[in-house]
Amino acid sequence: MHTRESVLGEADLALIHALQIAPRASWTQLSAVLAVSPDTLARRWETLTTGGYAWSSMLTAHRGTEGTLYAWVELECAAGDTEATAIEIAEDPYTLGVHQVTGDADLILLVNCPDLHALDGYLTDRVRRLPGVLRARTQVVTQLHNRPYRSRIEQLTPGQVQHLTEITGGERRGRSATRAYPLVTELDQRIVAELAGDARRSAAELARQCGTSESTVRRRLDALGAAGACHHHCLPAPRFSGRPVWAMVTAVVPPLEVAESVASLARLRQTRVVTSVTGPHNLALAMWLRTVEELHDVTAGLVRAAPALRITGTAVSLRTHKIGAQVIGADGRRTHHIRPATGS
């Protein structure tokens, strides 16, 4: 059962793939790789973004000198209140994912807070007080094993990828997990917050908004990228991408097998986010699929890739309300973005 065929053409997907590799590349640089004029590329991107079919965004990977805290939150809602609750909570700056799902829970949220104290405050003072929420179950992410929103389109040829990387510098290597986090300043947080809705905003515009110079903006963005302190993501709206079905798989892996297992799981095409979590299972994987039926083959593939894996549950999204900072309307298109919280 296909929920919707892709309405994005090959040229659109090639442009999105190029922006996944080099989010702030100039139209002239992209033109050299895609063999389309800079003006045509700019107009096409404007059509995709204003229509809600694609977006480019930046989110912080950590605040201050410490990593930011993620958590998966499952909500059970009163009958008839699920959609209204999802729409309301999608407007919160702490939610980076809001999915209306099948299974024991009605909603699955990906929440991002500075620390455990802030997470407790958000859940206690906000989430559990929503009129439609009956109960909430939280699993803190103890380790994020791969970068969220990474490229999975793979529309460009290897030669095009190499050419684009050579002329722009491409994606920098992520920082080593053993390195200390560099200092992320208040200015850095303001710059990244301005880019949550559009990661291609010019340095001149960012300088005006943040009260600094263009050279400072460029220098700070280069430093943040080199340190792995932010996540760029350029995505098509899932309903129109050919992979419209969001799914979560929970699993248990023996502690001594986790490292080898997650390395194998992260290489699979479908998996977007692989997380170690607290609770009755120790892994939670989120992915986008072509069809609901594909989930069966994917779960079998997960076990083949990581034989120590024991799957404990699956959930499929009936509707996605938010991805990252982007709010998704009932028609599957992006409607607006929510400026993420920047407090440390």
The reported pLDDT for the residue numbered 63 is: 54
Give the highest mean pLDDT range of 176-190, 217-231, 267-281, 328-342.
Answer: 328-342
Question: Cα separation of 34 and 41, whole Å?
Answer: 9
| Residue 228 confidence (pLDDT) above 80 | no
**pLDDT tier for residue 53 given thresholds of 50, 70 and 90:** very high
Taking only the tens place, the pLDDT of each residue in 242-280 is 889 999 999 999 999 999 999 998 888 776 789 999 999
pLDDT at 50 over 70: yes
Summarize the confidence of residues 146-159 as an average pLDDT: 76
Minimal CA–CA distance to 237: which of 95, 27, 50, 44?
Answer: 50
- The three-class DSSP label of residue 126 is coil
Find the mean pLDDT for residues 227-254: 90
Write out pLDDT tens, residues 279-334: 999 999 999 999 999 999 999 999 999 999 999 999 999 999 999 999 999 999 99
The total of other beta-carbon atoms located within 10 Å of residue 304's CB is 11
- Residue 180 is given by DSSP the state P
Tokens describing residue 107: 């909603």
Q: What is the DSSP letter of 196?
A: S
pLDDT band at residue 88 using 50, 70 and 90 as cut-offs? very high
pLDDT, the chain, mean:
89
Distance CA 253, CA 311 (A): 9
pLDDT at site 149: 57
User: What residues contact residue 197 under an 8 Å CB cut-off, 6+ apart?
Assistant: 55, 57, 325, 326, 336, 337, 339
CB count within 10 Å of CB 103 equals 12
Among 66-70, 75-79, 280-284, 318-322, the least confident range: 66-70
pLDDT of residue 176: 43
User: At residue 67, does pLDDT exceed 70?
Assistant: no
Contacts of 179 (CB under 8 A, 6+ apart): none
Rg for the chain (alpha carbons), in Å? 20
Burial state string for 65-101 with b = 16 or more CB within 10 A and e = fewer than 16: eebbbbbbbbbebeeebbbebbbebbebbbbbbbbbb
Which whole number is the average pLDDT over 38-67? 86
Is residue 11 within 8 Å of 36, Cβ to Cβ?
yes
Q: Taken in order 228, 66, 270, 197, is the CA torsion positive or negative?
A: negative
